[in-house]
Homo-oligomer: A and B are copies of this chain.
Amino acid sequence: MAQEASALGAERARRPSIEGEGPAGWLEEVRSEVDAHLACFFDDRRANASRLIGPSEHQSLLVDAIADLTMRGGKRLRPALLVAALAAVRPARSVRDVLAPCASLELLQSYLLIHDDWMDGDLERRGGPSVHARLREQQGESGDALAILAGDLGSAFAWELMLEAAWSSGRGRELTATFARIHQEVVLGQEMDLVGSIDVSRMHRLKTGSYTVAGPLRLGALLGDANDGQLRALERFGIPLGEAFQIRDDLLGTFGDVREVGKTIGGDLRVGKRTALVRELEESVSEPDRAPVVRVLGRAASEVEVEAARRALITTGVRARVEARLESLLDDACAALEGGELSEPGISMLAELAGALTFRRS
């Protein structure tokens, strides 16, 4: 249920705002301010946990595990989306006005990554051990139970931070309702994935789109006391962007550079994942031409077979059509920004993030 994106790098430079190299100044500012706020938060939570568990233990393994994962990386793109949406409705406001909800989104992400990595059996995350892998090393067979607890604690931390923002906001009730809805949507999306739902695009909208794109945008807009027109514009921006984000993920999983993506390329094919590529193949390619791909789906196929499948996805035009769909979604998203409801600086920040989320290499 948890996915990460990189703000760095852009395969193409179709959108003016991503022509530059590397992230803009405001993205760097979001990252460093959010990191500093998180560091303080964890110091405080560590001290609080030590007080609660008393002198017989040194400090909480769980707080350490969450802090380590959260501080180890992540581009803080969800906080950046929140900040950009805020700027789109209140140009004078900056990340410093919304540090608690930004930090909350990162804790939500950590909670989801911890439970998700355990469910998927992923032992690595953000260039280090996943939380259950680390806790197994430290505590043996209790490691898995401790990892589930670490996720539970991360969820409580995320709520604590979001509530801090909600009680100081005139739109607090809507903020917490949105946050509760995000939690539920992510979990239901993950349920759809685990039971093998055939409605893959809906599954992705719930499992990833909600907490990665639509949720942060709505929270930022509410923190800026957005009007209904602004909320609608941001929603029309967020829905196609969330889908485009997922398509990029699918493209990287089959055609990415292993050194940049950090996971085995072709794994999606071998586990038979119903990616955007597979769905396009089924919809537009005749049976015989599908064969090289169908042969590897859900099988421990050899590298030669996977390479043949990859070539078939190119020669049948599937890859190009999926890329065109991504472009078209991105156009839809950017068009939604232009209705006159949102501020110019905010629009340019949002367009830049749209690029970062969909033209990433990892």
Would B152 and A176 count as touching, CB distance under 8 A? no
Closest approach, in angstroms, between the C-beta of A273 and any C-beta of chain B?
A: 15
Q: Does A87 contact B (CB under 8 A)?
A: no
Report whether A153 and B198 are in contact in the complex, using a CB–CB cutoff of 8 Å.
no
Does A188 lie within 8 Å of B49, measured CB to CB?
yes
Q: Is the beta-carbon distance between A159 and B180 smaller than 8 angstroms?
A: yes
Whether B187 pairs with A152 at a CB distance below 8 angstroms is yes
Instruction: Enumerate A139-183 residues with CB–CB distance to B below 8 Å.
Output: 139, 142, 145-146, 148-149, 151-153, 155-157, 159-160, 163, 167, 172-173, 176-177, 180, 183
Q: From residue 178 to 194 of chain A, which have CB atoms closer than 8 A to chain B?
A: 180, 183-185, 187-188, 190-192, 194
Instruction: Point out the residues of chain B lying under 8 angstroms from A84, CB to CB.
Output: none
Which of A50-58, A225-233, A249-257, A331-339 interfaces with chain B?
Answer: A50-58
CA gap between A53 and B202 in the complex, in Å: 7
Q: Knowing A52-B185, A52-B206, A177-B163, say if A197 contacts B152 (CB, 8 Å).
A: no
A61 within 8 A of B: yes
Q: How many copies does the complex hold?
A: 2
A199 is an interface residue with CB less than 8 A from chain B: yes
Task: Let me know if A213 is at the binding interface, CB within 8 A.
Answer: no
Q: Which residues of B contact A361 (CB under 8 A)?
A: none
Q: Say yes or no: is A195 at the interface (Cβ < 8 Å to chain B).
A: yes
A residues 194-223 with Cβ under 8 Å of B? Answer: 194-195, 197-199, 202, 206
CB distance from A297 to the nearest CB of B (A): 20
Min Cβ gap A218→B in Å is 16
Q: Does A118 contact B (CB under 8 A)?
A: yes
Instruction: Confirm or deny: A115 has a beta carbon within 8 angstroms of a beta carbon on chain B.
Output: yes
The answer to whether the Cβ of A62 comes within 8 Å of any Cβ in the partner chain is yes
Closest Cβ neighbor of A205 among chain B residues: B52
A119 at the interface (CB under 8 A from B): yes
CB within 8 Å for A188 and B60 given contacts A163-B177, A194-B146, A194-B149? yes
In whole Å, how far is A103's beta carbon from the nearest beta carbon of chain B? 14
Contact A149 B197 (CB under 8 A): no
Q: How far is the CA of A40 from the CA of B173 in the complex (A)?
A: 22
Given A156-B183, A163-B176, A180-B159, answer yes or no on A146-B191 (Cβ-Cβ < 8 Å).
yes
Q: How far is the CA of A195 from the CA of B157 in the complex (A)?
A: 21
Query: Among B54, B61, B160, B187, which residue has its beta carbon within 8 angstroms of that of A153?
Result: B187
What are 28 A-B pairs at a CB distance below 8 A?
Answer: A48-B184, A52-B185, A53-B192, A53-B197, A56-B197, A56-B199, A56-B202, A57-B192, A57-B197, A57-B199, A62-B188, A139-B194, A146-B194, A146-B195, A152-B183, A153-B183, A153-B187, A155-B155, A156-B180, A156-B183, A156-B187, A159-B180, A159-B183, A160-B177, A160-B180, A163-B173, A167-B172, A167-B176
